[in-house]
Structures are given as C-alpha cells and as structure tokens.
A and B are shown apart, each in its own frame.
Chain A
Amino acid sequence: MAQALVQVRGVSKSYYRDSLEIPVLRNISFDIPEGEFLALMGPSGSGKTTLLNLISGIDQPSGGDLVVAGENIARMSEGQLAKWRSQHIGLVFQFYNLLPVLTAFENVELPLLLYKLSKADRRKRVETALTIVGLGDRMDHYPRQLSGGQEQRVAIARAIVTDPTLLLADEPTGDLDKVSAEEIMTLLSRLNKEFNKTIVMVTHDPRAAEKAHSIRNLDKGELA
C-alpha cells in the first residue's frame, strides 16, 4: 500500500498563557492519502485551524511527528519550513488575505517570486492559474475592485500557481454568500478531481463539507 501523503502521528499542541498550559490538540494521529479531499469539522475552539496550521508548517507541534510528502516537518527549523511551504503548500484563507496594493496578477505571482523563474514563465503560470479560476479577464484588477467570491478565487489561484503538493483551505466559504460559496466549492472539487490536488479544508458549513470525500470531526482537541 502506498504511503499516505500526510501522516499525523501523536501530534499535540499546547499554548501557554503566563505559566498556564492550554492544550489545544491532544495526541492526534491519522493519515491523508494523496488525492484526498478531506473536510475537518468541529465546534469553535476544537483545534481545527490549529491542526491545519501544523500541517501547513506555519506553526509547530508541541509533540509528535508530522510527515508531509515524505518529510518530517515537526523537526524543521523556521527557515527550512519557509522554504518547504513555498514548495509544497498552497493556502486559502477565510478572508482571502490578498495584498490590497497589488493587482490580482501580482498577488498570484507572489509565491513564484520565491522560485528562479523568468518573467515570461511567471506570466504564463499566473495566467494559467487565473484562467483555471475563471478570472483571466480580471488580472489587472485590485482586490477592492473584485467581489468577495472573486477575491477568494484569486486567493485559490495564488494557492495553486506553484502546483503545490497539498492545498489547505481554512473556512474558504466562511465570508461568502451562498452563491459565491457554491462556486468556490465547485472550484475546489474541480481542482481535486481534474488536477488531482490533495485538499484539506476546515469548515463549519455542512454543505461545503458535502463536497469532500471524507470528513473528520475534532472535539476538544481530539479526533471524534
């Protein structure tokens, strides 16, 4: 049997307020196979976003191992993690997190600036990514000139432009109306089916979770 793309082994995470330890995740273990579309669900404060942050390498576990694409990121330094993220992870945020002073094209181009690519290569990739999300005609628009749904699609284009190993989305429909949310979920499904992208999505929305292949529930820092 092929090795899972993501292996979570006994991962725990605690935060400290003064000297008081606040456990957020307790001894979590599970695998995510390649090509999976997983929805992480659970009530607020259950540790969904924390788990997503650990898998994406923007935070580090207090204990346990996290092997993603064959590398144990729990043991990486911050510098190594930054480089690893740029190569393997595409992130989609609830509030899009686009840089307001950059155009849609420039926002999508950002992750490519960490690669040694010619300007022409970057342009080609950005145009492809924006075409996939259906915004080929809005490349020169600034975020303020786009609707919420369009902004989120730009954010998805930014997440896929480097062709990452893993696409991680934190409440991608949380700030959108019903129609836009539906469009975004359709787009993520398409990325999973047509482009075989492995997706881990945190959501509160059961309709969004329906698009996923599997659902895992977290409660009080443990897998339910």
Chain B
Amino acid sequence: MIPASYTFRNVTKHKVTSTLTIFGVGLVVFVFTAVLMLAHGLFATLVATGSDDNVVIIRKASQSEVTSIIMREQADIVSTFPEIKLGQDNKPLFTNELYVLISLVKRDDDGSSNVTVRGVTEKSMEMRPDIKILEGRMYQPGTAEIIAGKSISNRFKGCKVGEQVRFGSRDWTVVGVFDAAGSAFDSEIWGDIEQMMDAFRRPVYSSLTMKLNDPASLAAVTSRIEGDLRLQLEAKPEKEYYAAQSTATTQFIMIVGVAICIIFSFGAIVGAMITMYAAVANRTKEIGTLRSLGFSRLAILRTFLFESFVISLAGGIIGLAGASFLRFVEVSTVNFNTFSELAFNFRLNGPTIISAIVFAVVMGFLGGFLPAVRASRLKIVDSLRAT
C-alpha cells in the first residue's frame, strides 16, 4: 500500500488548489446541510408540538384545524369517553379549542403575516406540560386577555407583555408570554375560548384534544367515534397530526433545496475533477516511479481516489461545521397546511450529518474517479519520461 502520508502531504503541499476544491465542496455541503436542517427543523418543531398520549379530534376529512368544525353537542359526547385520563382535580384531561387565523403586522418591516389565534380552556395548559409562562401571567378567563408564544411576541407588533393587539373587533391585552419548548405553539396566541368564539362569532370548535389513560386505547376511541353516527369526526395521535402538518412544506423545501444542491454539486464535482486531473498531470513521473517499484495499477487507483476522498471529506466537514452554526438561527415560514406563520430553528441530527458526509464523499468519488483511472492506466515507460 502506498502510504497515506503520501496523500495527506500532497493535499497540503498544493495549498491553493486543495483549498479551493475543499471550499467548493464545503459550500455545496453547507447548502445541502442547511436544506436538510431546515426541513428537519420544521418537521421536528411540528412533531414536538404533540404529546405521545394526546389525541386530536377534528372533523372527518379535514386535513387540519383550519377547515374543521365540531359542534358543542359533539364535543360534549366525546368528553364523556372513558378512555380520557383524569387530571389532579379529577376532571377529564379534555379540551375543546378554536383555531382562527388573523393578520398581524411584523415588528421589523411593517409587513403582515398570518398568525394563529387559539381559543383554549383551563385544561389546555395542563395537557401540554412543556408549555411554561416565560413572562407575565396566565390570562384571566372571561376577559379580553391573551398570552403570546415567544416567537410571536418577538416578531409581531403589539404582542409583548402590556401591549395591545386588535382582532375580532376587540382590543386584547397581552398579559403573558409563554415558551412552548420550540414547538409550533410558540407561534400562536392563546386566549379564553368563550371570549374568542364570541369575538369571532364562531359557535363551533375547531378541534378537541384528549389525554388518554393509555396510548394504546386510541383504537377504542376511534371505534367509539366510528360507532356513533352523530360524530362525523376523526381521531389522530397528536404527534402524527402535527407531523402530517409539516409534510407539504417539508416536501417543498426538500424538492427545491435538493434540486439546487444537485445543480451546485456538478460544479463541485467538476472542480474536484480538475484538481485531480492536475494532480495526475503534475505527478505523472511519480506514478511511473511507484509502478516501476512494483505498485500495481489498483494501488495507484486507490491512492488517487483516496486523495479525492480526503479533499471531499475535508470539504464535507467544513461545510457541515459551518452549517451547524445555523442551529442558532430562527426562521419563519408559512405552513402550507394551515397558512399560518410558523417559526422554527435549523436542526442538526444524526441522519443529516451522515447524509452531508455521504454527499461530500460521493462528490469526491465522482470527481476523482476518472482522474484516478487515468493515473492507473498510464504506461510506466511513458510516465517515467514525463518532466
């Protein structure tokens, strides 16, 4: 085997070409990783919105709460299901909620965007223990007080504690800001459901949420709903419901992002190929020497492929390292399923790291293969004559 030090020292010896190629691969890996982090961040944010033992019920065939309507009578029937867990006060952990989209003005550019307003009950908070009041206090039921998710509070006018925001023909006072642990609830405004239904003149709920005694009893809830003709409803695990909310947007990001990355990657592959062809041309005599010493064609092929691998891996690591800083960046987008603004962070996970490194190595392999084959096929006598 030709020693690995031969490869490493050649990479560091040709600093300019190696650095440019590493930078090119790194840039593509950066974009690729950013796309995956973006898609995963969106997905993870929505999945984190659900709890394992919570079940969301919406109108049958509704894809989301936006298009769901549930009558008070239907909610009353569901609230009596025996599968519902009881809270500390011995009351069912069950909540009916209203989901309305309003338009609010952003703090930074005066543009407006859709924001989710959720009418909630006293049980809503208890059923989502990850949600904590960060600043101020909980709203008083029966008043025009609201609490805002921290993403909304930071980005929209009138949403900080003590400020007022107008919607549903009323002025609402923000009395608290809550932290929903990076979930989609961070991008919502919560208030008393009865006040909200009155303000928006909506006599119906959008969704029901129940906490189960046992997550396995979902089948029993489903069959109970299907067995009752008055209930044209559909029950889904909360996590599954919110994961489905991410599908359209995640797919859009992935398709556009990955397509862009593939186009970029051609540039990086050509860059790696030029670098490796130059390496073969500059070291033709060395190749002849190695072959004359007894190293096989395969050993030469392996050495040049390894060099391409080292360059692309270095680019991959640099691109990945650069992209990892995006974790500290919060972005927002319109969720294509609910048409509301959703804030989330880029998230780096194991599969993203592996995908980025594999992507880099594949680029290196594709860029290095032809030059390595050329190196291995050089005739010894001809290569020894090279200057």
Q: Which residues of B contact A114 (CB under 8 A)?
A: 293-295
Of B288, B294, B295, most buried by chain A (CB within 10 Å of CB) is B294
Interface string of A93-113 (1 = CB under 8 A from B): 100010111100010001101
Q: Main secondary structure on chain B at its contact with chain A?
A: helix
Residue pair A113, B6 in contact (C-beta under 8 Å): no
Q: How far is the CA of A219 from the CA of B117 in the complex (A)?
A: 99
Among the listed stretches A80-88, A178-186, A196-204, which one makes contact with chain B, having 4 or more residues with CB under 8 Å of it? Answer: A80-88
How many interface residues does B have (CB within 8 Å)?
23
Scan residues 1-42 of chain B and give those whose CB is less than 8 A from a CB of chain A: 1-3, 5-6, 9-10, 13
Q: How far is the CA of A83 from the CA of B139 in the complex (A)?
A: 84
Q: How far is the CA of A58 from the CA of B105 in the complex (A)?
A: 78
A21 CB, nearest partner CB in chain B, Å: 17
Q: Which residues of B contact A206 (CB under 8 A)?
A: none
Q: Does A51 contact B (CB under 8 A)?
A: no
Residue pair B5, A113 in contact (C-beta under 8 Å): no
Q: How far is the CA of A113 from the CA of B384 in the complex (A)?
A: 21
With contacts A53-B381, A101-B9, A102-B6 taken as known, whether A91 is within 8 angstroms of B295 at the C-beta atoms is no
Q: How far is the CA of A111 from the CA of B5 in the complex (A)?
A: 15
B296 CB, nearest partner CB in chain A, Å: 5
Contact of A93 among B291, B296, B384 (CB under 8 A): B384
Residue pair A58, B384 in contact (C-beta under 8 Å): yes
Contact of B294 among A82, A97, A101, A102 (CB under 8 A): A82
Q: Does A150 contact B (CB under 8 A)?
A: no
Q: How far is the CA of A87 from the CA of B290 in the complex (A)?
A: 14
Using C-beta atoms within 8 Å of the partner chain, give the interface range for chain A: 20 to 34
Scan residues 274-329 of chain B and give those whose CB is less than 8 A from a CB of chain A: 285-286, 288-297
Contact of A101 among B6, B290, B292, B297 (CB under 8 A): B6
Q: Which residues of A contact B289 (CB under 8 A)?
A: 93, 97, 99
Of A59, A99, A106, most buried by chain B (CB within 10 Å of CB) is A99
Residue pair A99, B384 in contact (C-beta under 8 Å): no
Q: Does B380 contact A (CB under 8 A)?
A: yes
A11 CB, nearest partner CB in chain B, Å: 15
Q: Which residues of B contact A113 (CB under 8 A)?
A: 1-3
Contact of B290 among A56, A83, A110 (CB under 8 A): A110
Q: With A56-B292, A101-B5, A106-B3 given, name 16 new contacts (CB 8 A).
A: A58-B384, A79-B296, A79-B297, A82-B291, A82-B297, A86-B293, A97-B288, A100-B13, A101-B6, A101-B13, A102-B5, A102-B6, A102-B9, A110-B2, A110-B3, A111-B293
* CB-defined A-B contacts under 8 Å, sample of 26: A53-B381, A78-B297, A79-B297, A82-B295, A82-B296, A85-B292, A91-B292, A93-B289, A93-B384, A97-B285, A97-B289, A97-B384, A99-B286, A99-B289, A100-B13, A101-B13, A102-B5, A102-B6, A106-B3, A106-B5, A110-B2, A110-B293, A111-B293, A113-B1, A113-B2, A114-B294
